[in-house]
Amino acid sequence: MELAYIPSPSRGVIHLGPIPLRGYAFCIIIGVFVAVWLGNKRWVARGGRAGTVADIAVWAVPFGLVGGRLYHVITDYELYFSEGRDWVDAFKIWEGGLGIWGAIALGALGAWIGCRRRGIPLPAYADAVAPGIAFAQAIGRWGNWFNQELYGRPTDLPWALKITSSTDGRMPGTYHPTFLYESLWCIGVALLVIWADRRFKLGHGRAFALYVAGYCAGRAWIEYMRVDDAHRILGVRLNVWTALVVFLLAVTYLVVSAKKRPGREAVVEPGASGGDADGEVEGGTETDAGTADAKKTEGDKADKAEADASDAEAEKDEKEPSDEAESATKKA
């Protein structure tokens, strides 16, 4: 007997006249805005200019969407190119189907192009946007809820997800809400990166590497719970192997980078002097560049005061002989 469960939406699209509003696309858009907003705050706190994150996101987001779709289509090609399927559906991104591995890989390429155009180091930019990306993933996963997809094994737990659709091989019933598990995990990863960045002053791409490692650790066990069809290697789902390999690469980068280049970049954007008074924002990052600018300003003020004092003393010395000569003339 089902006492409690998470209901699924009866449909994933609402029409406002001729305009369709799709839940999946809506979640992706909200996630992008959150990532850019938080990334901008963290970038400014590190000494960068406001608006730089958004400018680079113009390159990174489209590349990421294309990469995510390509990864999905390549790894699940039978959904689009097998008998009875329409290959045109491969372009219908609004119906769901984005692979995070392809999105991050090609999104990083887009970000690299944008960073080169602005003369900005990619690792510093990646550190600033890392927790925002995790929050964006947490929001984007709710798009799977709207589409009634990517659920886990059958269960009668109180938080089970009730699937009502029977299309594309779905079986109505109650299942583990793996979309919810991953959403909550991504929120935890974002908070971990923010805390670690504040505590250890991560730099040179290490905050981003921590995000990647944290996400992969969760994706591995969540992926293992899913029951949708997937390619397998040695009986294990392809995405589990991918998560394992990427996790090891991220941890290796963390260790090697910490030894080679400890600390954080002194300057993240040439010519910028951003950062708030405390040097902290979401994640508590200290603005090294801003601190340097403040010290320089104080030094300039001290030099100016010393120069003014010297000028005043010289003027006094010139005036004293003149006064003595005038006094001698009067006595004569």
Question: Over the stretch 276-325, which tens digit does the pLDDT of each residue have?
Answer: 433 344 434 334 444 444 444 445 555 555 555 555 555 555 545 445 44
Residue 209 covered by a domain:
yes
Does one domain contain both 254 and 330?
Answer: no
**133 in any annotated domain:** yes
Residue 174 has pLDDT above 60, yes or no: yes
The pLDDT of 20-41, averaged and rounded, is: 92
On whether both 171 and 301 belong to a single domain, the answer is: no
pLDDT at residue number 65: 92
Q: What is the pLDDT of residue 106?
A: 95
Same domain, 271 and 309: no
Q: Is residue 4 part of a domain?
A: no
Please say if the pLDDT value at position 51 is more than 50: yes
Residue whose structure tokens are 């490692």 = 213
Angle formed at CA 288 by CA 287 and CA 293, multiple of 5 degrees: 100
Mean pLDDT, rounded, for 65-89: 87
Does any domain span residue 40? yes
Half-sphere exposure of 66 (CA within 13 A, CB side): 10
The three-state secondary structure class of 56 is: helix
Domain annotation covers residue 180 = yes
Q: Are residues 304 and 184 in the same domain?
A: no
Three-state DSSP class for residue 141:
coil
How many domains does the chain divide into? 2
Residues 219 and 329 occupy one common structural domain? no
Give residue 325's pLDDT.
Answer: 44
For residues 33-53, average pLDDT: 96
What residue numbers bound the domain in which 313 lies? Answer: 291-332
Q: Which residues make Cβ contacts (< 8 Å) with residue 328, sequence separation at least 6? A: none
Q: Do 192 and 315 fall into the same domain?
A: no
The string over 98-128, giving b where at least 16 C-beta atoms fall within 10 Å of a residue's C-beta and e elsewhere, is bbbbbbbbbbbbbbbebbeeeebbbbbbbbb
Q: 5 in a domain, yes or no?
A: no
Q: Do 259 and 232 share a structural domain?
A: yes
Distance between terminal CA atoms of the chain?
Answer: 123
Q: Rounded distance, CA 10 to CA 22, Å?
A: 13
84-120 pLDDT, tens per residue? Answer: 788 888 888 777 788 888 999 999 999 999 999 999 9
pLDDT at residue number 311: 57
pLDDT at position 150: 84
Looking at the structure, tell me whether residues 90 and 205 fall in a common domain: yes
Exposure on the CB side of residue 216, measured as CA atoms within 13 A: 21
What CA–CA distance (Å, rounded) separates 163 from 171? 7
Q: Are 190 and 297 in a shared domain?
A: no
pLDDT at 262 over 70: yes
Predicted confidence at residue 305, as pLDDT, reads 55
Residue 144 lies in a domain: yes
Rounded to the nearest angstrom, the gap between the alpha carbon of residue 170 and the centroid of all alpha carbons in its chain is 33
Under a CB-based contact definition with an 8 Å cutoff, are residues 279 and 286 in contact? yes
Q: Answer whether residue 8 is part of any domain.
A: no
Q: Is 324 found in the same domain as 297?
A: yes
With cut-offs at 50, 70 and 90, classify the pLDDT of residue 231. confident
- From residue 281, alpha-carbon distances to 111, 198, 294 in Å are 23, 9, 18
Are 140 and 255 in the same domain? yes
Question: Given this model, what pLDDT does residue 229 score?
Answer: 79
Question: In the chain, what percentage of residues exceed pLDDT 70?
Answer: 80
Same domain, 184 and 325: no
Per the listing, tokens 């290796």 go with: 252
Between residues 328 and 21, which one has the greater pLDDT? Answer: 21
**Which token pair is 231?**
């390619």
Name the pTM for this structure.
Answer: 0.78
